[in-house]
Structure 1
Amino acid sequence: MAKMVLLAQFLSLNGTDVSEYVRKAELTMEVEDKDVTTYSSLGWKEVLGGLKSGELSIEFLQDVAATEIDSIMWPLFGTVVPFVTRADQAAVGASNPSYSGNVLIKQWNPIEGSIGDEASVGVGYPTSGAVARAVA
């Protein structure tokens, strides 16, 4: 069984590579379960998949200097933008698939933390529309 350590994850938002600011990124997807149980199910619950959804959760290291992450994210607040992520910054391939779609930039926390903490920003962006997986 192959094992993997994330060392150089790639993340692009709205066409801008923001990997240098990202400490953690997670793309999760799920599908609603719809109960279609009937008497002929013989006491067993039956389900079908309904609507699909996803979320891109990111922890950024904050930088409010001109041209840094705060100035990149602030104009995106409230908009739907494209994203691309993959486990490694190397080329997309069978061993490094790319996941892409759109997310709603529904929050931005310009100031977050306690005294003595590193300046970081934790956000969660819902996907909007389909998420695609590509190997080429």
Structure 2
Amino acid sequence: MAKMVLTASYIALSGTDLSNWANSIELSIEVDEKDVTTYGSGGWKENLGGLKSGTLALEFKQDFAASALDAILWPLFGTVVTFEVRASNAAVGTSNPKWTGSVLVKEYTPLSGNVGDDASVKVSFPTSGAVTRATS
């Protein structure tokens, strides 16, 4: 079994590579559970998958310089944009698949922290439409 340490993951929003600012990435996808149990189910609960959804959660090191993180994220607020994530910034392949789709940039907290904290930005964006996985 191959093991991996995430050291150079790739994250892009709206076609812009944000990997240099990112230090945490989580793409979670799920499907609604629909109970389809009937009297004919023999006393066992039966379930089918319903609507699918996902969330892209990221953490960045904030950067207010011109053309840096804040200048990139601020105009995206309130819009649906494309995303691409990979475990490694290496070429996409069978050992480095990519996940793509769209997310709603529904939140952005440009500044948060206590005295002595690093300036980090945590965001969580719901997916909008299908999420796909590809190896080429």
Aligned match of 1:105: 105
Instruction: State the Cα RMSD in Å.
Output: 0.6
Aligned match of 1:62: 62
How many pairs are equivalent?
A: 136
Per the TM alignment, residue 49 of structure 1 is displaced from its structure 2 partner at its CA by 0.2
Aligned match of 1:7: 7
Superposed counterparts of 1:1-136, under 5 Å: 1-136=1-136
What per-residue deviation string (whole Å, max 9, x for no partner) do you get for residues 57-98 of structure 1? 000111112111001000000000000010000000000001
Mark the runs of 5 or more structure 1 residues left unpaired by the alignment. none
SS of residue in 2 equivalent to 1:32: strand
Which runs of 4 or more aligned residues in structure 1 lie more than 3 Å from their structure 2 counterparts after TM superposition?
none
| Cα distance in 1 between the residues matched to 2:3 and 2:14 | 31
SS of residue in 2 equivalent to 1:19: coil
| Cα distance in 1 between the residues matched to 2:122 and 2:43 | 44
